[in-house]
Homo-oligomer: A and B are copies of this chain.
C-alpha cells in the first residue's frame, strides 16, 4: 500500500532521528523492548519467511493463521473472516480487545499481503529475510541475526518482501502489547484489528467485506498503519488521499491517412483539433478553464493552513532538482495543490513523431487525461463537467469510433472513454478522534508532528469512509528509503522501535 505516496528527493537528505519525551509508560515500554530486541526481530523474521502474495491462498492463509495465533497470545479475540463461496479471496484477519469502561473504539488496519517479487531481481530471496549492518545503498553488509539477548543496532536493516509494506506494524504492535501487559498498564480504547490480505492485488473485495461485516467493524476511527514516514524522518500523520479518475479523448480527421501534399491545407488535421480542445481546457499556468471544475471541492480551512505550516517547505529544492523554473499556479505550495482536483495530459498520440514521422495527415489524435480528485469531487460528476466543456467547444460526443455517416454529419467529433475511479477521502484536521492520535504521537516524539492534510496520490480508502461512515487517519512508520514495491525492500530497525513507541502512546492515550 501507499506506493511512495510522498516522493523522495535525491537532493534532500535528512538525519532520521527523534528524542523521546519522557513519560512513565514510554519508559517502561522502552525498557521492555531493549531487553527483547533480538527476540523481537527474530520473531519478525519468522513472519517475513511466509510468502504473502495475495493470489497464493495457501501461504496467505498461513500468514493469517500466524497472526491469529500471535495476537491470541496477547489476549485478543481473533477470527478469520471470509466471503461465502469465494475461497479465492484472501481472508480478513479480524480481532478485538475489549477494554472495560473504554468509550472509544479504534479500528487498526494493516495489510499482511505484499507485492509479488521476482527473486531474479533481488539480492537475496524475497522471503528469506536477511539482516544488514546498514542499508545496501550506504554500503551495508549482511550480518547474522543476533541470538536472543544480544544487542541490536537501530541502523540495521532487514531485507525481505513486506519488511516495510506492510508487515512492520505487526512486530511493533505485538511488542507494544507485550510491554504493556508486563508493565500492567491497561489499554484506554477498545481495539479492533482489520488485517487485509489483498491490498497489493487491488483490494477488490474489501468493500464486500466491509458490507458483510459492517456491524462487527463499527468503531470511532480507522487507523491505517501503513506507508513510509516523511523523508525528513519527522513523525507524520496523514489525513487523507486524493481520489482518481480519467478519460481518453479521441478526435477525428479524415477516415484514412492522407498525403500531406495532396490534402494539406484542405483536410482537417486531428492534431490541431485536439490541441485547440486541450488548450481550451487548461492554461499552461495550471488554471483550469472548465466550468465549475472546483465547485464542490472542499474549501481549505484555517486548520488546514495550520497543518501546511507543519510541513518542511522543499518546493524550491524540488523545482531545482526537476529542472523547473516555476511550478503551476505561480509556485503554489505542493501541499496546497493536493487540496484541488487536477487535469493532467498523461499522454498524447497522433501519427508519428521522430524518425517514423511521415508526410501524412493522421486520421485521429488521442489525449489521455488523468484527474486527481480532491475532497468533495465525485468522479462521474467531474467527468461530466469535462464532457460538458467538450460539447461547449462544438464537439459531438461518441462512445465508439464514429461510423462514416456520423463522420459526415458532425464537423467535430470526440470519443470520450471514461476511466473508472473513486473519490478522495479526507478527515478534517480538527476531527476530535484524529487529534487524539496526533497528540498521542506528539507526546512521545520531540520533533513537531507533520500533519499531512492529504497525500497527492490515491488509495481506495473511500470504501472505508463510504461504507463505514467513519473518519480515517494514516500513521506511517517505515523508513522512506524502504524500496517499497521494488526489489530489496527493507525496514530500518529503528523504525520498528519508533512504531512501538507511538503505538504504545496511541494504545494508552487519554
- 14 A-B pairs in the complex with CB atoms less than 8 angstroms apart: A4-B259, A254-B322, A272-B283, A274-B275, A325-B408, A346-B353, A346-B360, A346-B361, A347-B357, A348-B348, A348-B349, A353-B366, A353-B367, A353-B368
Is A271 interfacial (CB 8 A cutoff)? yes
User: Could you tell me the distance in whole angstroms from the C-beta of A59 to the nearest C-beta in chain B?
Assistant: 30
Q: Are A357 and B353 in contact (CB under 8 A)?
A: no
Give Cα A252 to B324, complex, Å. 9
Q: Are A7 and B269 in contact (CB under 8 A)?
A: no
Q: Are A372 and B265 in contact (CB under 8 A)?
A: yes
Scoring A residues 323 to 353 as 1 if CB is less than 8 Å from chain B, else 0, what string do you get?
1111111001010011011101111111111
List A55-75 residues whose CB lies under 8 Å from chain B.
Answer: none
User: Could you tell me the distance in whole angstroms from the C-beta of A256 to the nearest C-beta in chain B?
Assistant: 7
User: Could you tell me the distance in whole angstroms from the C-beta of A459 to the nearest C-beta in chain B?
Assistant: 9
Scoring A residues 245 to 279 as 1 if CB is less than 8 Å from chain B, else 0, what string do you get?
01010001111101111111111111111111011
User: Could you tell me the distance in whole angstroms from the C-beta of A313 to the nearest C-beta in chain B?
Assistant: 13
Give every chain B residue within 8 A of A244 (Cβ-Cβ): 261, 359
Count copies of this chain in the complex.
Answer: 2
Q: Are A256 and B4 in contact (CB under 8 A)?
A: no
Give Cα A502 to B407, complex, Å. 43
| Known contacts A320-B408, A324-B408, A350-B348: A7-B258 contact under CB 8 Å | yes
Query: Which one of B268, B356, B365 contacts A327 once the chains associate, using CB atoms below 8 Å?
Result: B268
Q: How many residues belonging to A are interface residues under a CB distance threshold of 8 Å? A: 93
Label chain A's interface by main secondary structure: mixed
Give 9 closest A-B pairs by Cβ, nearest first: A271-B345, A323-B407, A261-B457, A279-B279, A275-B278, A347-B351, A264-B342, A357-B368, A265-B337
Give every chain B residue within 8 A of A322 (Cβ-Cβ): 254-256, 258, 267
* Residue in A320, A328, A455 whose Cβ sees the most chain B Cβ within 10 Å: A328
Give every chain B residue within 8 A of A402 (Cβ-Cβ): 323
Scoring A residues 410 to 445 as 1 if CB is less than 8 Å from chain B, else 0, what string do you get?
111000000000000000000000000000000000
* Residue in A242, A265, A270 whose Cβ sees the most chain B Cβ within 10 Å: A265
Give Cα A242 to B411, complex, Å. 28
Give every chain B residue within 8 A of A282 (Cβ-Cβ): 272
Q: Are A345 and B350 in contact (CB under 8 A)?
A: yes
Give Cα A320 to B259, complex, Å. 17
Give every chain B residue within 8 A of A372 (Cβ-Cβ): 260-261, 264-265
Q: Are B354 and A368 in contact (CB under 8 A)?
A: yes
| Known contacts A276-B284, A340-B265: A352-B324 contact under CB 8 Å | no
Is A40 interfacial (CB 8 A cutoff)? no
| Known contacts A4-B259, A265-B286, A357-B368: A325-B411 contact under CB 8 Å | yes
Is A19 interfacial (CB 8 A cutoff)? no
Give Cα A159 to B327, complex, Å. 63
Give every chain B residue within 8 A of A319 (Cβ-Cβ): 408
Give Cα A266 to B328, complex, Å. 5
Give every chain B residue within 8 A of A329 (Cβ-Cβ): 265-266
Q: Are A457 and B248 in contact (CB under 8 A)?
A: no
Is A362 interfacial (CB 8 A cutoff)? yes
Give Cα A253 to B340, complex, Å. 20
User: Could you tell me the distance in whole angstroms from the C-beta of A139 to the nearest C-beta in chain B?
Assistant: 25
Give every chain B residue within 8 A of A338 (Cβ-Cβ): 265
Query: Which one of B262, B274, B321 contacts A348 once the chains associate, using CB atoms below 8 Å?
Result: B274
Which residue from chain B places its CB closest to the CB of A257 in the assembled complex?
B346
Give Cα A456 to B368, complex, Å. 33
Is A308 interfacial (CB 8 A cutoff)? no
